Amino acid sequence: MIVETEQQKWRFVAAVTGASVVASVAVTAVVAPLGLTTVALIPSIVAPLIVAPVASHWAAHLLLRIHRLNTHLAHLMRHDQMTGLLNRGAFFEYFEEQDQPVAGAVLMADIDEFKRINDTYGHAVGDRVICTVAETMRSEVEAHGILARYGGEEFVAFLPQLSLTQAQQLAEQIRVAVEDHIFLHDGKNLRFTLSIGVEQLDRAGTLDEILICADRALYEAKRSGRNCVVRYSA
C-alpha cells in the first residue's frame, strides 16, 4: 500500500490491523485443539489489536517520511536552491518531456553590471539582488510559461502562449519592474537593471539554436548600453 499522506497512513494502520486480526483468527482455528472456542478466540483477537496498530503505525510513519524525503530530493534536483526557480537541467528536461515539438518565445535575461554589485556591496547583497530579480520575473512569467535560473545572474524563460511581439512586450514589463524596484541596503536605496534578449522558437528549429540566438540578442542589449530589450535579428 502506498503511503503519501496522513490519511493514507491511517488507512494503512487500519488495513494492517484488520488483516492481522483475520490472520490470527484463521491460524487459531487451524491450530487450536478445540477450534474457535471463546477461550481461544479472545486472545487471537486481542493480541493483534494490541501489537498490529503500534507496529503498523511505525511502519506507515517510516513510509510517509521516506516519501516526503524523496519528494524533497526530487524538488532539490530540479530547482535552484537560492531562488526556488527551475534549474538549468530542469529547463531542458521540460522540452525533452514533451510528446511533440513545441513553439513559443524565449527570453534570456541578465542582471546588468552584477560583478560591480558584488564587488561594491558584497556577495550577500548580490544574492538578494538575484532573488529579487527572480521573484519579479516569476510574477510576470508564471501565467505564461516557465522560468529558470540559467546560471549565475542569468535567467531564461519559455513562453509557449505568446507570440514574439507579445513576448517582447512582456520582457519590457519585466525590465521596467526591475528598474523601478527600490532595493534598501544600509539605509540607502539601491537600483539595478536587467538586459533581455528575445527570440522565437518554432517547431522547425532546435532549442539549442534558439538559445544561441536569444543569447546573441542579450549580448546586443548589453552592447547597446544595457537596461533594454533586444529582439534577435539575423
pLDDT digits (tens, 9 = 90+) for 167-218: 999 999 999 999 999 888 888 888 999 999 999 988 667 889 999 999 999 9
Count of domains observed in the chain: 2
| Residue 83 is assigned to a structural domain of this protein | no
Query: 4 pLDDT exceeds 80?
Result: yes
Give the whole-angstrom CA distance, residue 214 versus residue 231. 8
| Residue bearing cell 536569444 | 214
The identity of residue 96, as a single letter, is E
| Residue 1 is assigned to a structural domain of this protein | no
Domain boundary among 28, 51, 78: 78
| Residue bearing cell 490519511 | 7
73 and 99: one domain?
Answer: no
Cα separations in angstroms, 11 against 19, 24, 61, 64, 214: 12, 20, 12, 12, 52
Active site residues: 153
| Whole-structure pTM value | 0.78
71 and 171: one domain?
Answer: no
Mean pLDDT for the stretch of residues 1-11: 88
Domain boundary among 22, 57, 78: 78
Mean pLDDT for the stretch of residues 66-78: 88
Mean pLDDT for the stretch of residues 25-47: 81
Domain residues for the domain of 158 are 88-231
